[in-house]
Structure 1
Amino acid sequence: MDDIYNEIENKFKNIEKLLKSELIGQDLYIKNLISYIKDKTLKNEKGALLLVGEKDTGKKTSIRFLVEEMYKDELIESDNINEINLDTYNFKLGYNAFLSDLHEKLKSKSKCIMFKNIQDAMGEIVNVISELCLNSCFNLNDDYIIKNNVFVKADEENREETNDILTSEKIHKEKINQLICNNKFIVFTSDDKNIDLEKVFGNNLIDKMLYTKDLDEKERNMVVRRRVTETINNIKEELALDIMVDLNKDESNKEYFGVCKYLQESYKKDSNLSISEYVIYKLNNPLRNLVIKENIKVNSRLFIYVENDEIYCKVDSQSYKLSDYTTPTLEEAKYKLNSIIGIKELKEFIYNVQNNYKVQNIRERLGLTTSKISMNMIFAGNAGTGKTNAARTTFEYLNALGLLSRGVFREVSKADFVSENTNETAKKTMEVISSAIGGVLFIDEAYSLCESEDDKVGKEIVDALLKGIEDNRHDLVVILAGYENDMEKFLSINPGLKSRFPNIIHFEDYTPYEMYSIAINIAKSKGYKIADNVEDDLIDLFAKNQISGKNDLGNARFVRNIIENAIMDASRKYLQDKQKKIDLLESHNFNFKVKAKFNLEERLKNIIGLEEVKNLLRSQYKLIVAQEKRKSVGVET
């Protein structure tokens, strides 16, 4: 007996050593985790364990690694872990979907079930899990049958269908009224360090709760560097490539710049991606796609570097932007959507689309009629409110959901619909539509397609566009974008437009606080920080210039101009005084008197004739703009 005990003890010591080399900064957590699992193993017991800590501290990784090593050492019968994400069942019939998924996991040979996001689970689902943890058995309130892998109540209303299912050769032949958990570890993970145990779980559900340690900046840098190095080494080995990466380690302070610094600073901790998943999203997947799509030859030399807030890959003399080769997963698309400042209406609409997609899948599995909704959209808002970027992100989200058959994104304007021969307008329009079938067609400044009742060519474009949309309504998503008022006028030109575009998404002007957040992001992307004492003055500047409803303001474009002018001023003053910090934008670098520019051409196009007057206004306006730019960088005028 002592020999068996010592053997198990030694195996866990070795696993602890391996796990400590795998996870950065988590020695105490690992020690406590190993102690708990070892104790349960010696007693031939399983238990309920809650792991709490911020992202990238190894909660899920530690369990996966531990189970894998225990299997190698014959301490456990399977190296498989069943994982269930509990925030994916928050919709009608979600409870049924959860029961069917849980039933399948409980029947497997796996000795560990890991539940993610327990704090977001429905009350009914938490009750099921609680009973399983306490009693290893949960008695269902109703009898259920399994139809197309979904639990369905075997009640009187479904008696005939139930009998058919129970007599089928292909279907589970017994009614199910309980779920049984046979000797499995149940692990919960949460990123919320303030989780209310009693509120979420009730009393006595968890027999051990462990906290991972928050990573400091140096440790987080080490995680990023390790993941980047692992990614590059794997690709080098698998694809036989010679890859160099711009890491630029600074020995004086042990920090990393180049690719690692970019990934560290562009990552958002409040996202649903871990830093490891973020490296896969930004570096691993697009780099692999690039090699395939551009037919990069074996033994080619690649150089990975950062420029203008983008990761590039240089092959011979050709440079490729990696973001052009991303094919985001659903988690990655969700991360990108949540990273965008503002656009609340669009986020809500896309999440509703996702929920409907889940429900329709359940209905299809239950043999019920499914319903497809129109996803054609109008993005209405002022300049600089992010409509174009939002359109690309919407495409990525819909594609990740599996709602697009080809994954095509086509961005066009009026110039793509017209040709020298006006008789070919309809044909040209249909060619544009055909190129986007199976994906998303984004038409920017869509109101310019037909600007008045007298625009015959424009009317022909609209008629052909409506026909193409109708003919391909189940395999094409069209997004029209433009100024609010202009889009209202455009919709009135043809009654068919409103019915084909039922989803109008309003892009509100950014608030001053949102503009400040955008300013921080723009500065960071250019390698600068904004001094803390500038915040109030910048917000005040944005508040004075951001008048709700005025479509001649720049929104994010105005913010970009402010930051770029501040950078120019900082560069000039740094050359005059080398004691100043080279990457800090201070109060004296900003021109707090600058005014947001209005769009002169947008105003002039509404005036008929008077060309000489217009040209005079244009020349005067250019002089004013030039003077303002000189003032903004500290040059006397």
Structure 2
Amino acid sequence: MAYTDDWENLMNGVFGAGGRPRFGGTAQPESKTLKAKAPAVPDLNAALLENQKQLDALLKKQNAQLKTQDTAVQSALEDSRQMLRDMEADGLLAKGTADVTAEHLGSFEGLAVEVKKTVLGQDAFVDSVVRAMRRPFVLGTERPAARNVILICGGAGTGRHFALEETARIMAARGLLQSDKTAVVDLALYPNSGAEKLFLQDLYAALHAPGEIVIFEHYESCHAAFLKTLADLAVKGSAPLSSRYLVNKEGILVDAGTALAPGAVSSITPCGKYLIFFSRKGRDALADKFGAPFVAAVGDVCETSAFAREDLAALAAQQLNALAQKVSARLGLTLSAGADVRDYVAAQCSKEKGAAGLAECCDKMFRALSEYCLQTDAKLTGTVTLTAKPEGVWFSLNDQPEQELSALLPAEYTGAVDEIRAELNGLVGLGAVKEYVFGLADNLQVQQRRAAAGFKTASLSMHMIFTGNPGTGKTTIARLVAKYLKAIGALKGGQLVEVTRADLVGRYTGHTAPLTNSVIESALGGVLFIDEAYSLYRGEQDSFGLEAIDTLVKGMEDHRDELVVVLAGYTREMEVFLTANSGLASRFPNKIEFPDYTADELLDITNVLAKGKGYRLAEGCTFPLLGYYKRRQALDSRTAGNGRLARNTLEKAIFHQSRRLVAEPAAELDLILPSDLEFEE
């Protein structure tokens, strides 16, 4: 049976089968004999009108069916996109996956342009990153070899990490990567051979983690043997293990010892991942640490450049737009800011912070506006207008009088500079020491002025060596130095961590370096004070002590802007100690000698201590105390105790005064008499 659709049936109804017109709705057979009487004239218009109505009804029916199908398709597509968005929100897919067009799936076309929409001012760098990520797709690689080995370098705050994150996100959204997740290995955690097991465990975990990118940070601080392992991964595609290892149920690489066990891991491979090294230094520094074969295996070197003025303006505008959205969403206010505010934010870019200074500035603005909203429980609405002035950013809500934005923030603790200076000045003696400490603030102020004027700044080493006999005020000054450096902005934390050899030197092989590093970590942002530092070095056979010194020197280099180390000890012993490491003496340019106190200074110290405890010395105490202090200091100031001598003498006097007051109830409670004094000759 032949197929006949509705359209054909309709046409046959109008014209008849074969294309002949049909009248009256019923087909009439042809007659060879004409009838005598002619038939009535057919109503052709009525027939055509009737069939037109049928045609219109059929077309409407078909259109309705198509519309229903299109609506269903669109609904299904929207449901699919919503499911993708939900998976994005849950972290199962890279952000932007739902918005990728069909022609961009599995393609690098236009990828760099898309990255540049969010990564501003680094066009050439973005191109190089995208090219580096595309290289294995063009050249081809086979697992388990690394897809590509990449060095990403440049100054702080120039967008190195953000550019890679955005590139990985868009690649994952386009299906070029299975995931945009990255594994990060901080190589500064493995500064010596004692960290071998930890290094191998972390490296194995990173190479087997979700995602296809492994990032290595701070290779400059890593032990040379571990860099050799990474070089083998890049050059040979495999790194042998020096002992037997197994992978436990949790997927952790563990040392199997000497036991023969099935499934032992004898080598580590890159697992077909991108190996990406971050640094502020370029290819030459990489060669110094890894060697020429490794550098030859590096497929791409991607380096950021300094931001141009117009780039910073664009970045500032981007940050202000994000701030406006945040203010609208969180505070319910509309933010208005002009070119003056944009330029103010752009000026917050510095050598130390880079473009991160812009984000920090906008974050402070948001916190200040939040504080303003918290001052009232009423819901605020309207427009917040920002204005930049030489002293900072001001704001006005709904054309009300302007207020300084930073004044709304809680006052940051600085350590009360004036109070600390007064406390330093209140110390007896130590004139040369005070002059040096106060000079640190002068230098910092000048460097800040140079930076503001666009000049280069000179970094001043603040590591110090305090030499002198016990009781000359070394620990007291170290504590005040920590507080003072915090107060003037040279340090962030201002804490004093006081340690001795026992806190730095381990009890067994491999224990010293981690112990010393943990102490260094606890002191970051403050001052590490090592009393009797000369005890760290007990000769060339003291391997544990030498390891502590080497670790300390390396930590000082790695954290030169975050840590001040003060070594204290006897003068002669400290001179010998400085020979224990070739780089030790050069890292302590500030050597401060604490002289022994004179008898007059010890008397002043005794009076200060007594006043602090709520006592006072009778005038008759002056002469015997001066004579006693002169005799003790002349006999042996090294063992006399200096300030401790004054404290011990006062404490004995207070004890004897207490016994006297029991027998003399009417005597003054705060007065110490000559009879209360006891001298050890």
TM-score normalised to structure 2 length: 0.43
TM-score normalised to structure 1 length: 0.46
